[in-house]
Chains A and B, each alone.
Chain A
Amino acid sequence: MADEPDYTSRVAMPRRTRVAVGGAREVTQAMFTEGDRKKKIQGALFASVLLLGLSVALIAIAAMITWAFVAGGPRLNINLFTNVPSVVTPENAGYRTAILGTLYVIGGVILLIVPLGVGAAVYLEQFANPANKFNRFVDLNIQNLAGVPSIVFGILGLAFIVRGPLSLGFVAAAGSLTLALLVLPTVILASREAIRAVPSSIRDGSLALGATVWQAVWRQVLPAALPGILTGVILAVSRAIGEAAPLLLVGAVTFVTFNPSFFEGGYTTLPTMIYSYASRPQEELQTLAAAGVVVMLVILIMINSVAIYLRNRFERTW
């Protein structure tokens, strides 16, 4: 402090002013160095509560994955992927038909939800008049649908897709349709958010160059919204891949010893298969169920990594 030039002396200031300047400096110095202890403690407390929340989630996931690897450990070999299921020889049983069934069902789900979900989102965000009562009704219902229990969709699938109007029977296509209906609201909501996040100046800029609304959406808005849309697809697929309840109702029968096909014959999926093994008493089947969880994780990560790769490629900030 002592070495500092005495600014006050350069200008002939009245004494009172010099005192005031000195006082202001002291107050400022005190304010900047000491800070507000109470606020600091509050901040630290808040941060630790947030950290606690995060660690609970992380520990739970880590525990589940560890359990699956430990419990299923004895069965983690190539047979697990290539052999057909069996309760008679569980030590050799595998998940081949379930893996194929899951890939069929999820493949169908992706093919259905991307065009339907994005289409619905584009309509609601870019074409629909928000003041229109019907559009508001649709809007509200999509949000509600996202919260409907999955078993309800299973019943719907059984009544309208397996039997009733579509009468597809107990086939993988019926499973795809049912799961697609279940996760469609997720995709629509995420896609709408993504489309809304594209600045309207991009759309206006295209229109001012003589683009139709359709051209502006297809060539500018959708490419810009793609990362957000893919995030929605990742969430939806992750949910669909683990669903067992609605699939039990639409015919994912648990013992299929032949490779499934999309439109005919029985099929099974990983979650229904795991459910079936896990509900039986034999220890070998319990091990097999745990190993199945690992298989499901591997497939989920494979599918999602493609979407994550695409998302990161198209990611941009405004």
Chain B
Amino acid sequence: MSDTVLPPTLAENAPDSTEKVSPVTQEPANTFELRHVNVFYGDMLAVKDVSMAIPHNQITAFIGPSGCGKSTLLRSLNRMNDLITGARVEGDVLYHGVDMYGPKIDPVQVRTVIGMVFQKPNPFPKSIYDNVAFGPRLQGRKGNLDDVVEKALRGAALWDEVKDRLKDNAYGMSGGQQQRLCIARAIAVEPDVILMDEPCSALDPVSTGRIEDLMVELKETYTIVIVTHNMQQAARVADRTAFFTVLANDETGSRTGVLVEYDITSKIFSKPADERTENYVSGRFG
């Protein structure tokens, strides 16, 4: 994705050169760079002090037990957390070197560049065609979107199954097809990044396999960040894996997610540096 063009709203907000960030024009090596990121829900610290770099055109997986804040962190990457009352992000979330929580950043623009696929397939109660065309239409594209729809459906490996019933309601599809439709819908707006929040947790193994194959194909074009409960899935598809865990504070009863270890996937699964990671990936915990 070397020809990524940043929306003007993002480019304007590049931090001053005093920051140790490579200029946008030189295409920094990482899509995301997180520096000491804390995420709060009200007074509760949900994710604490995460620093990590998410590289281009790779699949990065977030794994860890329930409540470790992996979904929360994922949602802070395209500012979906803004929609939750009281949610707040501290630290720097840099996207191509731009502070995504800068004062002039428009979260709506952020979400057109950083798409998202949710845990449960959530097609709109409309036709397959209208589902895919929804994003481009939001951006003001009018008239015939057949090419856009076909390209997106082909991109999500769904075209051959649905090309004869584009006008049918999306709710008539199987769960796996619905989820691929949601991926098609996300890539129809031509994003740079696709965030996936446990995209296969509601699907059967065959559909899961298809989506995993699709992810590997899609990383040629997009940067993918995936949250998964399924360690085998992370091992199968991810280039890099981040393991998170929960720290429970017995005094206040609060639970805070922390990043334990982040490395190349094979390393995380074969010789993790941290004992907690080893316990988790070997199934002794969580």
Q: Which residues of A contact B (CB under 8 A)?
A: 129-131, 199, 201-202, 204-212, 215, 219-220, 223-224, 316, 318
Contacts and interface: CB of A to CB of B under 8 A. Distances in A.
B80 A209 contact: no
Centre residue among A199, A210, A211, A318 by max chain B CB count within 10 A? A210
Contact of A205 (B83, B112, B118): B118
Contacts of A212: 108
A215 B139 CA distance: 11
Nearest to B119: A201
Contact of A210 (B83, B118, B122, B135): B135
A219 B125 CA distance: 11
Contact of B85 (A129, A199, A220, A316): A129
Nearest to A205: B122
Contacts of B134: 206, 209, 219
Interface residues of B, number: 25
Contact of B115 (A129, A208, A219): A208
Contacts of A204: 80, 83, 118, 122
A207 B189 CA distance: 12
B201 to A, nearest CB: 14
B124 interface: yes
B122 A211 contact: no
Contacts of B78: 208
Contact of B112 (A131, A210, A219, A316): A210
Contacts of B61: none
A130 B85 CA distance: 9
A201 B122 contact: yes
B10 to A, nearest CB: 13
A315 to B, nearest CB: 11
B229 interface: no
B124 A220 contact: yes
Contacts of B276: none
20 contacts: A129-B85, A130-B85, A199-B122, A201-B118, A201-B120, A202-B124, A206-B134, A206-B138, A207-B111, A208-B116, A209-B189, A210-B111, A210-B139, A210-B189, A211-B108, A211-B138, A215-B138, A219-B134, A224-B125, A316-B171
Contacts of A130: 85
A208 B124 CA distance: 13
Contacts of A131: 85
Contacts of A224: 125
A205 B182 contact: yes
A223 B126 CA distance: 10
A202 B120 CA distance: 11
B142 to A, nearest CB: 14
B157 to A, nearest CB: 20
Interface in B96-142: 108-109, 111-112, 115-116, 118, 120, 122-125, 134-135, 138-139
Contacts of B171: 316
Interface in B177-202: 182, 185-186, 189
The 8 closest A-B pairs by CB, nearest first: A210-B112, A201-B122, A208-B116, A209-B135, A205-B122, A210-B111, A211-B138, A212-B108
Task: Kindly name the residue among B115, B122, B186 whose own CB sees the greatest number of chain A CB atoms within 10 A.
Answer: B122
Contact of B109 (A129, A201, A207, A210): A210
A129 to B, nearest CB: 6
Nearest to A209: B135
A199 B111 CA distance: 20
A207 B80 CA distance: 8
A207 B83 contact: yes
Interface string B248-262: 000000000000000
Given A129-B85, A215-B138, A219-B134, A209 B186 contact: yes
A116 B28 CA distance: 51
A1 B138 CA distance: 69
A148 to B, nearest CB: 32
A318 B123 CA distance: 11
Contacts of A208: 78, 80, 111, 115-116, 118, 186
A209 B115 contact: yes
A130 to B, nearest CB: 8
A18 B112 CA distance: 68
A131 B84 CA distance: 13
Given A131-B85, A219-B134, 5 more contacts: A199-B122, A201-B120, A205-B182, A208-B116, A316-B125
A206 B131 CA distance: 10
Contacts of B111: 207-210
Contacts of A199: 122
Contacts of A207: 80, 83, 111
Nearest to A198: B125
Nearest to A223: B125
Nearest to B185: A209
Interface string B134-155: 1100110000000000000000
A39 B185 CA distance: 52
Interface in B50-102: 78, 80, 83, 85
A210 B124 contact: no
Nearest to B122: A201
A210 B124 CA distance: 15
Nearest to A199: B122
B80 to A, nearest CB: 6
B188 to A, nearest CB: 8
Contacts of B135: 209-210
